[in-house]
Amino acid sequence: MPAQTVFETDPDEHPLLQASSIAVAIIKKARLEKWEDLNGQLPTDVELTPEQFEMIRKYERELLWIRANGATAIHCVCQVCGAWTLTTGTANTKCITFGCDGRPVKAKTAKRKK
C-alpha cells in the first residue's frame, strides 16, 4: 500500500482558501485539470483530516471553478467581507465588494505534511 499523502494549510486562513489550496494540491497530485475530473472520488493515497474533509464538502461548488493546468486558477478571498474571486496571477489590491476596505488574500497550493 502506498504511503498516504497528507496536506497542511494555515489554520488561520479563511476556510475557502484552505479548501482551495487543498483542492489544487489534490488536482495536481492526480495530474488532472479541474476538480470535477475527480468525479467525487479522492485519490486513494490522499488522506484528509475531518476538518479538511468538511471544508472541501462545504465549498464543493466553489471548487468547481479551480483549474490546475498551465496557469492555475485559484481563489482569492477578502478577509473583511468574505467575497471571493478567482485569479491566475496576483490577488486584487482591493475587495470587489462596493464600500469594503478589505484586501483579498490568494490561496496557495497546500504543502505535503512531512
Per-block mean pLDDT, blocks of 10 residues, the chain (114 long): 81 93 93 92 91 94 88 90 92 93 92 83
Which pLDDT score, from 0 to 100, does residue 40 have? 86
Cell numbers at 71, concatenated:
496557469
The predicted structure's pLDDT at residue 109:
87
Full-model pTM: 0.89
